[in-house]
Amino acid sequence: MSTINEFLSLKDFTSIVFDNNKVDVSDAVINRVEESFNFLKEFSGNKVIYGVNTGFGPMAQYRIKDEDRLQLQYNLIRSHSSGTGKPLSPIYVKSAILARLNTLSLGNSGVHPSLIHLMKEFINRDITPLIFEHGGVGASGDLVQLAHLALTLIGEGEVFYKGERRSTKEVFEIEGLQPINVEIREGLALMNGTSVMTGIGIVNVYNAEKVLDWSVKISCAINELVQAYDDHLSEELNGVKHHFGQQEIARKMRNHLADSSLVRKREDHLYSGDNTEDVFKEKVQEYYSLRCVPQILGPVLDTINGVAKVLENEINSANDNPIIDVKNKHVYHGGNFHGDYISLEMDKLKIVVAKLTMLAERQLNYLLNSKINEILPPFVNLGTLGFNFGMQGVQFTAVSTTAESQTLSNPMYVHSIPNNNDNQDIVSMGTNAAVMAGKVVENAFEVLAIELITVVQAIDALGFKNEVSSTTKSIYDEVRKIVPEFKEDMVMYPFVQKVKDYLMA
């Protein structure tokens, strides 16, 4: 059980989303939410407060009659439930609900406590609102996507429940739940915010960390296969480049390869003084995709860490408008809903993961091209050359998937299109950026799955099964449970999918 209180760490957040830990809300949270609600109700009595007694966006110049205030919130929710495209995955939606729950729990939004209670029940009972990929421009936050969340919280719309898409009303009857009490600004407070892009972003970071870990491990295995020299991983060499990520990746690789009998020391060969050839048989240096792994994956690690910090800050921030300040007895109008922080970080994330994917594709090409590696049969074909095809077919998939990620990695952050009668004249496109980043991360798993199958085939081709490091051997054994050694051609797509699932688990 994880409790929403003062600060929700990214670690606790992901334990709820991925490990199915139940979420609880402390009494302190309920008290401050209720205090905020009561203050706003009293404070707004004879003042002009945006979204309480005014219209929305460019229509804020119109006063709303007191008797129409509650209907105003329903009108906002229903009119903006206008998303299209594919439904967001359940894990994205669960993450988004938790992000919204946490920010509304800060007591800066003036919402009714029933909202906090019902969102908690959605998470704990695995009720997934139907939210679509397309809709929000990330300026007043995730207006359209969060409207779909709000729609289910008022008992309307649709949800996914026990694997089925059903009406929210039906599921509420089954679970004995009641819609929220819409009082002052429940619609606006739910919809004005960055919680969908942030929730998706946290899932993306969680998966990107896995992708990076696998990329390091596979890169180590390839260095073993070619019996590379270990000085490019040395603490001495990487220590003179003052970047944490590079030094950490090199350290991880040294640890992985510590008990390998294949990786060589330069002093035992090229520094021995016994080599008098004019054309060296021993390779003096490896290709960049093998030798420069710390320099390539180091920035990936540093970027993932930086993105994670921004996301943690965002889930613990008040990101709607206006902001209710109970302590100073004031209501502040501004733009905390704007998604530029998240949009930029999602662009950074997809750029570095696309680069990681490019590294994997080049390493794969190295293994498949016998003219380059000079140690393996073409396409790591363990069957009859010319008659069998080995890994030839799946290379096309890896290349096309990598190309897609390269295009998707172009930034959304700079693609602002004014809308909303030019009230939203510069926007973040943060949700688009987050969805695209998720696709790039998933693509990386697909390319790594193909690369890993090729690696284990190469280990068998070279007879190195008992010479690789213990970590590589453990991975080899796990993959061989999924993909037996093969010489004859077989349908590859089920095996690629199963290895991808293994990498993502």
Maximum average pLDDT range among 135-144, 177-186, 348-357: 348-357
Of the listed ranges 119-133, 152-166, 205-219, 421-435, the least confidently predicted one is 421-435
What is the DSSP secondary structure assignment for residue 66, as one 8-state letter?
G
- Residue 417 has φ and ψ, to the nearest 5°, of -125, 115
Say if residues 314 and 274 touch (Cβ distance below 8 Å): no
Copy the structure tokens of residue 69.
Answer: 């205030």
Strand order in the sheet with 128-129: 128-129, 158-161, 164-167
Q: Residue 474: its pLDDT value, please?
A: 97
Of the listed ranges 40-54, 111-125, 207-221, 311-325, the least confidently predicted one is 40-54
pLDDT value at 419 more than 90: no
- Residue 486 has φ and ψ, to the nearest 5°, of -130, 140
Q: Residue 285: its pLDDT value, please?
A: 78
pLDDT value at 154 more than 90: yes
Q: How confident is the model at residue 270 (pLDDT cuts 50, 70, 90)?
A: low
pLDDT value at 69 more than 80: yes
Whether the pTM exceeds 0.75: the reply is: yes
pLDDT value at 403 more than 70: yes
pLDDT value at 284 more than 80: no
Q: Residue 91: its pLDDT value, please?
A: 97
Of the listed ranges 80-89, 171-180, 244-253, 265-274, the least confidently predicted one is 265-274
Given the DSSP bridges, would you call strands 158-161 and 128-129 parallel, antiparallel or unpaired? antiparallel
Q: How confident is the model at residue 280 (pLDDT cuts 50, 70, 90)?
A: low
Copy the structure tokens of residue 447.
Answer: 């390319």
Q: Residue 55: its pLDDT value, please?
A: 77
Catalytic residue (choose from 50, 229, 332, 476): 50
Q: Residue 327: its pLDDT value, please?
A: 94
pLDDT value at 381 more than 70: yes
Mean pLDDT of 469-481: 97
Say if residues 322 and 333 touch (Cβ distance below 8 Å): yes
Q: How confident is the model at residue 234 (pLDDT cuts 50, 70, 90)?
A: very high
pLDDT value at 274 more than 80: no
Q: Residue 269: its pLDDT value, please?
A: 66
Say if residues 129 and 149 touch (Cβ distance below 8 Å): yes
**In whole numbers, what is the pLDDT of the chain averaged over residues?**
93
pLDDT value at 224 more than 70: yes
pLDDT value at 273 more than 70: no
Of the listed ranges 82-86, 413-417, 444-448, the least confidently predicted one is 413-417
Q: Residue 136: its pLDDT value, please?
A: 86
For residue 86, what are the contacts with CB-CB under 8 A and spacing of at least 6?
132, 133
- Residue 165 has φ and ψ, to the nearest 5°, of -90, 115
What is the share, in percent, of the chain residues with pLDDT greater than 90? Answer: 81
Residue with tokens 């007191």: 66
Q: Residue 105: its pLDDT value, please?
A: 95
Dihedral sign from CA coordinates of 389, 394, 399, 400: positive
- pLDDT: which is higher, 396 or 423: 396
Distance CA 204, CA 305 (A): 12
Distance CA 122, CA 125 (A): 5
Q: How confident is the model at residue 282 (pLDDT cuts 50, 70, 90)?
A: confident
- pLDDT: which is higher, 178 or 72: 178
Mean pLDDT of 409-432: 85
Distance CA 312, CA 450 (A): 33
pLDDT value at 275 more than 80: no
Mean pLDDT of 284-299: 92
User: How far does CA 218 lie from the centroid of its chain?
Assistant: 21
Distance CA 362, CA 381 (A): 18
Distance CA 209, CA 222 (A): 20
- Whether 502 is a known active-site residue: answer no
pLDDT tens, 88-126?
999 999 999 999 999 999 999 999 999 999 999 999 999
Q: Residue 415: its pLDDT value, please?
A: 86
